[in-house]
Amino acid sequence: MISKTVEIALNKQVTIEAESSQIYLAMACWAEAKGLEGVAQFMYKQSDEERVHMLKIVKFINERGGNAYISELKAPNVSFNNFKEMFQELHDHEVFVSESINDLVHITLQERDYATHNFLQWYVTEQIEEEAQARAILDKINLIGDDKGGLYLFDRDIQQLTVYNVVAPGNTGNKN
């Protein structure tokens, strides 16, 4: 049985994961409207992934005897000055999510809820990967600068990154 404290904290994370999905969906729409097909596909994939993360927590709460609830979401930013600003926002958001997961892990230890602590280790690992990926993308964007040819190649590269992540050996494409 899950404690009320852990249930509330997990439900807060459900909202964060749902808002993450919306943020990346808004970024995908912006990129697609700007003709950045590769970036758009990457963001659509990220949005789908965040929804899966949310559903895993929802199911976990309910399976442990708690009650998952779906709350109202904050509207995401829908416009950006440029793609670098958008990816900086993605990076900053991933750092925020990592901090939230870490706070949640801390709560489970205080509550001596080792089952939930164990469940959350997947999210800890996932956030390490998400932050590293966001930093690597920002590094590439900084190399490009204002070069339009570089932007074209970046858009193609990120599309290949998305395809590679899905079909890499030993990777089913599902991070759950």
Residue 84 and residue 90: Cα distance in Å, rounded?
A: 10
Q: Is 176 helix (H, G, I), strand (E, B) or coil?
A: coil
Residue 88 and residue 92: Cα distance in Å, rounded?
A: 6
Query: To which residue do tokens 């970036």 refer?
Result: 39
Asked whether residue 94 is marked as a ligand-binding residue, the answer is: yes
How deeply is 72 buried, as exposed, middle or buried, from its count of CB atoms within 10 A (0-12, 13-18, 19+)? exposed
Asked whether residue 17 is marked as a ligand-binding residue, the answer is: yes
Residue 156 and residue 36: Cα distance in Å, rounded?
A: 9
Asked whether residue 91 is marked as a ligand-binding residue, the answer is: no
Tokens at 32, concatenated: 């697609």
Asked whether residue 53 is marked as a ligand-binding residue, the answer is: yes
Residue 18 and residue 1: Cα distance in Å, rounded?
A: 24
Tokens at 55, concatenated: 């559903």
Asked whether residue 99 is marked as a ligand-binding residue, the answer is: no
Binding-site residues from annotation for Fe cation? 17, 50, 53, 94, 127
Binding-site residues from annotation? 17, 50, 53, 94, 127
